[in-house]
Amino acid sequence: MIKKKIRHIQRYRDIVYTFTKYGFGFVMKELGLLDLLAVPKKVFVEGNKTLNTRTTGERIRMFLEEI
């Protein structure tokens, strides 16, 4: 069971990174996943300039397309 979790850890990091990239890093922070998966703190940027012009729905769509 542990081998399976270790095998997928990079995928989990990719998902957390993508959440933060599209402005949903606060969710990952609240769940404690930023520290647990050793995601660099500089990735956690709440006010990305290109995302400020996007609606929440657009950001969710972009997130799902990338994942």
**Domain residues of the chain, as ranges?**
2-66
Output the pLDDT for position 61.
93
Give the C-alpha separation, 36 to 33, whole Å: 5
Alpha-carbon Rg for the chain in angstroms: 13
Amino acid identity at 39: V
In this prediction the pTM is: 0.71
Output the pLDDT for position 41.
64
Q: Taking Cα atoms as reference points, which of 4, 27, 3 lies closest to residue 15?
A: 27
Residue-by-residue pLDDT tens, the chain, 67 positions: 677 667 788 888 888 888 888 888 888 889 888 778 877 666 655 445 567 788 999 999 999 999 8
Neighbours of 17 (CB within 10 A): 19
Output the pLDDT for position 42.
65
